[in-house]
Structure formats: C-alpha cells, structure tokens
Amino acid sequence: MIGIVDYGFYLPKYKISVEEIAKVWGKRKEDIESSLNVKEKTVSGLDEDSLTMAYEASSMALKNFPEREKIKTVLFGSETHPYAVNPASTILAEFLGIEGNYLAYDTEFACKAGTSAAISAFGLIKSGFTDYALVAASDKATGQPHDSLEYTAASGAVSLLLGKKNLVLEIIDYGSFSSDTPDFWRREGIRYPSHSGRFTGKPSYFHHVESATKNILKKNNLTPAEFKYAVFHMPNGKFPINISASLGFNYKQVEASLVAPILGNSYTASGLMGLVSVLETAKENDLIFFCSYGSGAGSDAFIFKVTAQLKNKRKKLASTLKDKKYLNYTQYLKFMNAI
Amino acid sequence: MIGVIDYYNTQFGELWQKSLFDLVEEVIEKILKQKGIDKGEIDAIFFGNMLSGVLENNLHTASKIAEIVKLNIPIFRTEAACASGGVAFNLACQYLNSNENKTVLVIGAEKMSDFSPEQVVTGLAAAASGEEQEAGLTFPGLYALMANYYLEKYKYNEKNLAYVPYKNHYHGSLNDKAQFRKKISIEAVLKSPYVAYPLKVLDSSPITDGAAGLLLTNKKNYKNNKGVYVLSSEIATDTISLKARKNLDELAATKIASKKAFKAAQLAPKDINVAELHDCFSIAEILAMEDLGFWKKGTGGGKIKELGTMFGSGEKLIVNTSGGLKAAGHPVGATGIKQIGELFLQLTGQARNRQVKNVKYGLAQNVGGSGGSAVVTILGI
C-alpha cells in the first residue's frame, strides 16, 4: 500500500482582515464576508516566498525521518515559484539535505499543482523508482489590488512525504478529471493573475470537482455517507460548502476542513491545509474524501484511509492559528512587494 | 393588419456553453418547428443586437444569419442600444406595411457573459454620449442621477424604489426561462451593495445571455389562429446626453412614442391589461409608468408601494409578468423582442402560472440608453 508517511504545514503569522481591505475600496465588510465566507487571510512576510514556506512545511514533514538518501523524488507544486526558469525543487531538496541521486521538478497547474505532483509521486513509488517522495505545495498567492481575489489570495504551504511504510494515510485510490477551461490564468511577465469572474464557478470549479468526485466514487462503489470527512479545494469559504452539499456530503463531514474563512485561499496549499485540519481529529480507519481543483482546469480526487500511525504523527494546526499579527493595508502591500 | 403568429425565447442567464449565433440558431430552429412552417416561407429577417461589433468584432451579422438559415433573403440588423430589439420589431412592421403577403422573422439576441464585466460595461457605455462617458458617467450613474432627482423632487426614498425589483423578482419566480427565479424581500434590496447611489445591486438588471424571436405576417388567414395583431409600434428619439434634457424626471422619448402609439391603436392607458416595461434600473419602471400615462407624474413612488401592478393583485394592469429586465434578465438586443413575446404569451393564454385573466391589450416599452431611443408597441386580440 502506498500512502502518506508524514506531513507538514506552514502558515505565516501575518494576517489581514477582509474588513481592512474592504475599507480601502469603500465596500461593506458584511457584503464581502457573506459573499465569500472569508473573514481574514494569511500573508507571508517580506522575506518569505513559496520556497521558504515549502522549506518550513517540508522540515516539519521530515522531522522524524532522518534517512534523506531514501528520498529520490522531490516535487514542488506552486503557481508562485520564485523563478520562472530555475527549479525551486532542487533548492528545497538541497536545503533539506537531500543530495545527488534524486529526481526533482516543479509542477504548475494553478491550485492543484501539488496534488497532481502527488499522483506522479505515487506512480514513481509504485514503479520502484523511489521508496519515498517528497511533495511540497506552497504559494504566496497574489491578487491585484481592487480585484475580488485580493480578499482571498493567501499564503501557506503543505508538504507530504509519500512512501510505502509507516503510513498515516493509505491512498485507496485516486483519479483526475481535466478539460481546457480557461477560467483563471497568468501570462509570462504579467504580475497578477486574470480570471473570468463568475465563469470560475459553475462551469469551472463545480463542473470539475463534481466530475472527479462522481467518477472516483462510482469506480470504488462508495457513497458520500461512507466517509467520515470530506475535503475540497477552498477558493473561498463558500464553494466547498456548496459543492459538498450538492454531491451529497453533509456539513458535519466537511466542517473540520473549512479553514478558508480564517486563512483565505493559499492556492496549491488550500485544500491540503483542509486535510491537515482534518488530520488533527481523524481516527484510525476513518475514510477521508479529498478533491482539489486547479484552474485551466482539472480536479484530482483521492480516497484516504487513516491508519493507527496518525496519532503518533498528528500536527497541531489549531494552536498554530492563534499565533497571529494583523497588518494594515499599507503593511500588507509592502509584504506582498506591491509597493 | 400585421399578425404576431408565434414566439420563442431561449433560456435567459449565464449560458457559458453557447455562442451568440448558437442562440440565434436555436430561436430560428425552434420557432419554425413550433409553428410548423418551412424556412422557405420566411421573406425577411430583422435582427436586433447591440454588442457583437464591440465585443466580438462581428458586425456583418446579417450575412452570418444567412449562413445559418441557408437562404438569400433580405436580412437587416438594427442597433439602438438596449432598444435594438424593439427597433428591429418596428422595422419589421414598416417592412410589412410596405410589402403585401409577407412573413418575417424578428430575432433579438445578445451574448454578454463571455466577457469581463469591465469589457461589457465599456461596451454598453458606447450607448451614452461621448462627453458623459469622458466625465466618467456609466449607465448606473446616469439612472442614479435621474433617481436622485426624482426622489428629491417628489419626497420619496430608496424604499419606494425597492418595490419594483420586489415585484419583478416575484414574477421572475413564475417564469421558467428567467435568469433569476428567486423571490427577494424589500429588506434584501435595501441591504444590497450600492452600484451608484441611490441604486443598489438589486435595483439593477443583470448581464445576461439570451435570444428571442417573433414570427409576423400580413398574409390574410395565414396561420394566425390565435388572432394577435400589432395595433401600433412607434419609435421616438431624444438627446443622447442627459445634460441636454429639459427634465430629469421623465423620458421624453417614451412620452412621445406612447402618445403616438395610443393614438394609432385608438386606445388609452386605461385599456391596457399587461405591460412589459424597461426596468433596467428600478427608477426606470416608475418613470415609465408615469411617462406612459398609467400614473400621474410624481405619484409613481407611492403607487408602486401599493403593488397593484403585481400578479395576483386583481387590478386591471399587471406590469412585467416576465420578471422584467431585472429578474428575467437583460440580454440587451433580445429584451425588446422578449417584451413583445411576453405580451403574445399573455394574449394567447400561454403564460401558464403567471397568466393574467381577461387580457385584451398589451403594451411594451423598450428604451435605448438612458432614453435616447424608445419604442412603444401595442398588441391586441
């Protein structure tokens, strides 16, 4: 059985509230909060980027894993890699003490670059290429000032160590659904992403998540009721609630994963941060449904089963959230290198 | 006499999977099939559309429609901003008045949701005067100026305006082809975010994709089994700039067109049973009710609160049973055709769960820009 051996996360301590941003643009915070179900979001510091956050998350994932030479694959999924050309995966590996005999590459598929990399890692382990693979999903997400993305685009990282032994999560199955649906993009040399407004909803997020979910449930002859938890990508706090309800999951199944209202959308790390939150309470033999979404567009669905190992490797997300410092809008612009 | 012999409209809403001409093709196919006539019996087509030139760089739409229908008949495209559909209908009537024994198809269509709100708003602003565009005025801004003036002059407030979308959303909930089928409360309208004070999101019509088509004929006894006739269709124009208008609490074009339309139809406002009015913003329906002579000038803000024009009120005139532009949606070029189509449905008893009883006469008022053009059409049985 292949699965997740260990995991780690990183959240910057800086935050900005929706109210602070809304105030600048003459909007009412109640309107924004109710339309997005987001109250505040994380902001990485002036000296942080997707690579430094990936390093922090990966360090946590590898804290109890000294055999770095057994990791022969390091993948880095992001849409805010620090370089357009020059891999972040090799820098990450070197800083983690992984040297020489490893395959490294960066992946990009909007918010699902990390989960797509995890599917590749699964294949490389299954083929015997490597015993362990490290997958980092990290973003310092940007939204143009005065764009609706500004209220949600956040920062954060999650890293997964995949392997075959001492698993915390078994990967029972995975599947993917993709199509050419240009709902969100950023061209080379352009600073901020563009998006097609409401087109990012029904024909994009909802269509792909629904298709990937239905396919994998049908393939495994499972129903939503058989899962203890469900985790969906969180572009905001509303979409995961709406999609889970329309697919037949109840609110209790998805509730533990809903971190977007207080963290925003850290793009590749967003859904995985929801998984980290779920793992704080999940118990042995619980089935967890997980589905990512990446604009452009596609969804990766996973069925996880919790093992007895989880209780020894559980990470504390909830207590980390308490350590925060609020920024005003000007500080926020400075931290995002906008001024 | 010109007979209206059939009507079809597509679903209105965000139709991501359909292009402008997919919508046009759907209307042509469905209306001919529905009426059971061959395309060879169509002598001309009139097409109302505003934005295909601005947004898609497609201006020679007549030829595109010829490609769809595979006919070499005359096809005309009309553009008069949001009155493009009404003007297409009027032109079709002029054509039929000048040519005997003809059957024509009038289509209105608009594709708006494939473009960013900024592109659509910029495109729509092409219907306003250049100077007012340069001054930063948008259509919500222009109607907000009129609303502010009206509320101040006649001592009303935003709550008076809110009864328009409240009523029209209720009507939209009864129309399965409406973009919004959700009833809304007065409180929800008042709590919605401002677009341009005093107009809020729920005072404003949306961005919509959709198409609608009508079959007209002047052939005697030709498939007009429902017996619906065009009693009059009149166009009037006015200054494009708001600053050049004498009064801000009226649309002179509506007043002039309706006066001519009532005269030609030999009817008075009291004879009308159903009306489809151009409620692009809530203030517009109140002004229209007054300009058309249904209500005395300055009383509309109070009259709307009585909800006498709401379906089920039992009053003689019910307004915007389709949901109006606000709830049915506002695919710009299609709106004028949908309005007349709704009258056709009401006059022929096909309006199902929103059918008004004892309907004999219907009136449609279609406005271009902030009143630079207005078309008033009266149908009767």
A197 contacts on B by Cβ (under 8 Å): 116-117
Give the per-residue pLDDT at A233.
Answer: 98
Give the per-residue pLDDT at B4.
Answer: 97
Residues of B taking part in catalysis: 82, 330
List pLDDT tens digits, range B342-367: 999 999 999 999 999 999 999 999 99
| Strands A71-77 vs A103-107: parallel, antiparallel or unpaired | parallel
Does the structure show a pLDDT above 90 at A197? Answer: no
| Residue whose structure tokens are 């948008």 | B138
Instruction: Give me chain B's average pLDDT, please.
Output: 97
Does the structure show a pLDDT above 90 at B116? Answer: no
Which candidate in B15, B16, B192 is best for mutational testing of the A interface (most A CBs within 10 A)?
A: B16
Q: From the list B14, B17, B193, which residue is nearest A198 (CB)?
A: B14
Does the structure show a pLDDT above 80 at B225? Answer: no
List pLDDT tens digits, range A108-133: 999 999 999 999 999 999 999 999 99
- Which residues are bridge partners to A134 per DSSP? A74, A161
- φ/ψ of B120, rounded to 5, equals -70, -45
Asked if B118 has any chain A CB less than 8 Å from its own CB, the reply is no
C-alpha B73/C-alpha B290 separation (Å) is 41
Asked if B14 has any chain A CB less than 8 Å from its own CB, the reply is yes
List pLDDT tens digits, range A13-63: 999 999 999 999 988 899 899 999 999 999 999 999 999 999 999 999 999
B113 contacts on A by Cβ (under 8 Å): 198-199
Structure tokens at B302: 């109070």
Q: From the list B14, B17, B193, which residue is nearest A31 (CB)?
A: B193
Q: Based on C-alpha coordinates, what's the Rg of chain B?
A: 19
C-alpha A9/C-alpha A136 separation (Å) is 9
Does the structure show a pLDDT above 90 at B210? Answer: yes
List pLDDT tens digits, range A238-282: 999 999 999 999 999 999 999 999 999 999 999 999 999 999 999
Kindly determine whether residue A197 and residue B14, on different chains, have CB atoms separated by under 8 Å: no
Q: From the list A27, A28, A197, which residue is nearest B117 (CB)?
A: A197
A203 contacts on B by Cβ (under 8 Å): 16-17
Q: Which residues have C-beta within 8 Å of that of residue B273, sequence separation ≥ 6? A: B316, B317, B318, B346, B356, B358, B359, B360, B361, B362
Kindly determine whether residue A27 and residue B193, on different chains, have CB atoms separated by under 8 Å: yes
Residue in B with minimal Cα distance to A197: B116
Asked if B113 has any chain A CB less than 8 Å from its own CB, the reply is yes
Q: Which helix (H) or strand (E) holds B8?
A: strand B2-9
Alpha helices in chain B (DSSP H): 20-35, 52-56, 61-69, 84-98, 117-125, 130-134, 139-154, 158-172, 186-191, 252-265, 282-291, 300-303, 324-328, 332-347
**8 A C-beta contact, residue B318 and residue B93:** no
What single-letter amino acid sits at B21? Answer: F
List pLDDT tens digits, range A76-85: 999 999 999 9
Q: What is the dihedral of CA A238, A244, A248, A252, to 10 degrees?
A: -90
Kindly determine whether residue A203 and residue B17, on different chains, have CB atoms separated by under 8 Å: yes
Residue in A with minimal Cα distance to B116: A196
What single-letter amino acid sits at B305? Answer: K
Give the per-residue pLDDT at B304.
Answer: 98
List pLDDT tens digits, range A208-240: 999 999 999 999 999 999 999 999 999 999 999
Give, in order, the Cα–Cα distances in Å from B172 to each of A260, A319, B16, B51, B209: 34, 49, 21, 25, 16
Alpha helices in B324-372 (DSSP H): 324-328, 332-347
Q: Treating both helix axes as pointing N-terminal to C-terminal, what angle do A88-96 and A50-61 enclose, rounded to 10 degrees? A: 40
Alpha helices in B200-315 (DSSP H): 252-265, 282-291, 300-303
Give the per-residue pLDDT at B223.
Answer: 82
| DSSP SS3 for A313 | helix
Q: What is the ipTM of this complex?
A: 0.71
Does the structure show a pLDDT above 80 at B226? Answer: no
Does the structure show a pLDDT above 90 at B118? Answer: no
Residue in A with minimal Cα distance to B115: A196
Does the structure show a pLDDT above 80 at A304? Answer: yes
Does the structure show a pLDDT above 80 at B202? Answer: yes
Confidence bin at B221 (pLDDT 50/70/90): confident
Instruction: Give me chain A's average pLDDT, please.
Output: 96
Confidence bin at A196 (pLDDT 50/70/90): confident
Which candidate in B11, B14, B197 is best for mutational testing of the A interface (most A CBs within 10 A)?
A: B14
A31 contacts on B by Cβ (under 8 Å): 193
C-alpha A135/C-alpha A115 separation (Å) is 8
Structure tokens at B376: 């008033």
A196 contacts on B by Cβ (under 8 Å): 116
| Strands A14-17 vs A40-43: parallel, antiparallel or unpaired | antiparallel
A28 contacts on B by Cβ (under 8 Å): 193
Q: From the list B16, B116, B117, which residue is nearest A203 (CB)?
A: B16
List pLDDT tens digits, range B15-53: 999 999 999 999 999 999 999 999 999 999 999 999 999
List pLDDT tens digits, range B184-201: 999 999 999 899 999 999
Q: What value does the mean pLDDT take over residues A183-187?
A: 92
Confidence bin at B114 (pLDDT 50/70/90): confident
Minimal Cα–Cα distance from A303 to chain B, Å? 31
Confidence bin at B89 (pLDDT 50/70/90): very high
Kindly determine whether residue A202 and residue B117, on different chains, have CB atoms separated by under 8 Å: no
Q: From the list A27, A31, A199, which residue is nearest B16 (CB)?
A: A199
Give, in order, the Cα–Cα distances in Å from A258 to each of A238, A275, A299, A311: 9, 9, 18, 21
Kindly determine whether residue B193 and residue A198, on different chains, have CB atoms separated by under 8 Å: no
Residues of A taking part in catalysis: 79, 111, 233
Confidence bin at B117 (pLDDT 50/70/90): confident
Give the per-residue pLDDT at B349.
Answer: 96
List pLDDT tens digits, range B245-270: 999 999 999 999 999 999 999 999 99
Q: Report DSSP state, residue A153.
A: B
Structure tokens at A253: 């199944």
List pLDDT tens digits, range A121-179: 999 999 999 999 999 999 999 999 999 999 999 999 999 999 999 999 999 999 999 99
| DSSP SS3 for B226 | coil
Residue in B with minimal Cα distance to A34: B192
Q: Treating both helix axes as pointing N-terminal to C-terminal, what angle do B139-154 and B282-291 enclose, rounded to 10 degrees? A: 60
Kindly determine whether residue B113 and residue A198, on different chains, have CB atoms separated by under 8 Å: yes
Asked if B56 has any chain A CB less than 8 Å from its own CB, the reply is no
Give the per-residue pLDDT at A188.
Answer: 86
Percent of chain A with pLDDT over 70: 100
